[in-house]
Each structure stands twice: as C-alpha cells, then as structure tokens.
Amino acid sequence: MKYFIVILGSLIIAFGFNNFLVPYGVLSSGISGIAILIGLITPFDIGFMNFLLNVPLLLLGYFKLGKTITLNTLLCVVSLSIFLYIIPVAPIADNTLLSVIFGGVISGVGIGLIMKYSGTSGGLDIIAIILSRTTNISVGLSLTAMNGVIVLISGFAFDWNIALYTMLSIYITGKSLDAVYTNHIKLTMQIVTTEGEAIRKDLIESIYRGITITEGVGGYTKESKQILMTVVTRYETMQIKKIVRSHDKKAFINIYKTVEVDGEFAKN
C-alpha cells in the first residue's frame, strides 16, 4: 500500500505539472521546477532532468533521513520522471490563473501524500524534512522560502507575470502540502507510569527525541510513579504509545499540541 501511494502521488504531481503548470510556462516548486525550466528553454526532456538533478539530493537523504525513506524517494523520483515523460503536456483549462491555482493544489496534495507515507518527492523536499525535524519550521514554509530563487529565475528567463504566477503556484502548493502532511506539528507527550525505567530504555533506543523524567505520586493510590515528558512530531506518537502499552497497559498518556520549541529538540 505504501509503494502504491508513492506511485499514485507521483502520478498526481505529474498530472498537475503537465496539464496545469507547464502549458503556461509556470514553474513548480523545488527541483521539479528547475527541471521544468530547463525543459522549457532547452531540448532536454523534463522527466530526465528531474531524475538527474535529484541524484545528489538522494545521496544527502540517504545519510540524513535513512535507507527506508531514501528508497521510497527513489521510487517517487523514478515514477515521477516516467509520468512526466508519458503524460502529454496539454492544458485542461484555458485560463492561466485557474491553471495556476489548481496546478498548485493538485501538486501539493500529491507531494503531501508521498511525504505522509514515509517518502519525499525528491529535491528540496529532502532538505525541508531535515529542517522540520530539527526546527519549528514547517515543511511547506521551508519549501516556500527556498523556492524564492526559482521565482527570480523564471522572472529573468520569461517575464515577471510568469514569475508572479510561479510564486502563487509555489505558495498554494506549500499550503496544500501542509494540509495533507502534518508530521511537522510538534506534540508534547506526558506519560505517567509505574514502569518508567523500562519505557525509558525502549524510547531512547527507538525515537529521535530526548526525554525528561520526574517522580510523582498517585493522588488516589499514593503509589510512586514516574512522569516521562518528551516533545515529538505527530508521526512518532503511535510508535511511542505502542512502546508504553507493551510495558504498562494502565499508563496514563497525555498528548497536547506544542506551540513552540526553544532548545534542543532532537538528540545528537
């Protein structure tokens, strides 16, 4: 199912590119946008350039994000390159603004689906995920900021109307992405348990976050308890709950949204 979603997301992205953005010379976000730019001003195929430009970032992803997510990303890059090659470039709407809006939404949904299932669509997504894991910056915001250079390039290469359309497309893509991919949201987990040490050992080995432990006493039972507090991303909560329940089925888990994190968020 995971691989199917990655391929489906790639198909959705390619559809958004070739049927809404490329026909009007509007660039997408990230490396794909650079590939589209090269494809528009040179005889090189967009799909081929997308794959070629992603190779060095795939290597970065392997060392920073791990083998699994990199393999998923490689699957996405290959399938997206193939879909960009086989889907004909043909506009569905004859209005540039409508095409930019729908192209941005469709592309963002496709990228969000892929990220949600432990992958990226390649390119700048890899850098954005690395930033989101160590800072308070969302993936969509990171991509929007990094893609400013693509807007400038499109303005000089074509005209500034196209550059503004590209900026709008990138912004909409980022918003749509954040609506689907919510892993950047930080949550605080408080775990009240009598098996604090066993849970602590498993969590330290399994998650990427630090843990703070305090001693407590049950208000009704007067029983000694340990309170484990950690700040995690949304996708880590299920794993943590499974670990806690494997040691203490009666543990009390309190999860609430964290507005901001100031200090070390990730373990070295």
Q: Are 127 and 135 in contact (CB under 8 A)?
A: no
Residue 101 φ/ψ, nearest 5 degrees: -65, -50
Residue 264: the pLDDT is: 64
Q: List where CATH 3.30.70.120 sits in the chain.
A: 186-257
* Percent above pLDDT 90 for the chain: 20
pLDDT in tens, 234-256: 767 878 888 999 999 989 999 98
pLDDT for position 246:
92
Q: Could you give the CA distance from residue 265 to residue 160 in angstroms, rounded to a whole number?
A: 40
End-to-end CA distance of the chain: 32
Helix (H, G, I), strand (E, B) or coil at 31: helix
Largest CA distance in the chain: 76
56 CB neighbour count, 10 Å cutoff: 10
Q: Which helix (H) or strand (E) holds 195?
A: none
The one-character DSSP state at 88 is -
DSSP character for 94?
A: S
Is the domain 186-257 a CATH 3.40.50.1110 member?
A: no
Query: Would you give the DSSP letter of residue 197?
Result: H
Mean pLDDT on 161-177: 84
Cα of 153 vs its chain's centroid, Å: 24
Residues 20-64: pLDDT tens digits? Answer: 988 888 877 677 778 877 887 787 887 788 788 888 878 877 777
pTM as predicted:
0.63
Residue linked to tokens 């203490």: 248
SS3 241: helix
User: SS3 of 210, please?
Assistant: coil
What are the backbone dihedrals phi and psi of residue 177, each rounded to the nearest 5 degrees, phi first?
-60, -45
The token duo for 116 is 């949600």
Per-chain mean pLDDT for the chain = 82
